[in-house]
């Protein structure tokens, strides 16, 4: 449920960010939009790299746990994989939330 809730909140934040950026870019010269466009790309790359590193660390922790007998059931396995997915998505969620706040002044 926590992952579903986080995904729902992220989708709302993403919609707010897209709306704010679109509104802010309409009618401006391309040069004025370049800073925000460059920031958009840099943030996405940064979030992807951070997510990949977090997923790799979570995967390693999961494998160590499994090697020492900490994964005994399909439920343990599912929870471990969900934790890896959560670790991978968390940096992107933080970026989206920060952008929504920055662009709306909230």
Q: What's the pLDDT at 105?
A: 83
pLDDT tens by residue, 23-75: 877 877 777 778 888 888 999 999 999 999 999 999 999 999 999 999 999 99
Q: What's the pLDDT at 20?
A: 87
| Extents of the domains making up the chain | 2-104
| Nearest partner of 103 among 4, 35, 45, 23, judged by Cα | 23
- Contacting residues for 83 by C-beta, under 8 A, at least 6 apart: 58, 62
């Amino acid at each position: 449920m926590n992952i579903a809730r986080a995904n729902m909140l992220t989708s709302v934040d993403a919609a707010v960010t897209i709306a704010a950026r679109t509104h802010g870019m309409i009618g401006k010269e391309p040069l004025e939009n370049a800073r925000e466009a460059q920031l958009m790309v840099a943030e996405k790359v940064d979030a992807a790299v951070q997510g990949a590193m977090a997923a790799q660390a979570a995967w390693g922790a999961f494998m160590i746990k499994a090697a020492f007998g900490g994964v005994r059931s399909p439920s343990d396995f599912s929870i471990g994989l969900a934790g890896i997915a959560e670790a991978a998505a968390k940096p992107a969620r933080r970026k989206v939330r920060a952008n929504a706040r920055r662009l709306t002044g909230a």
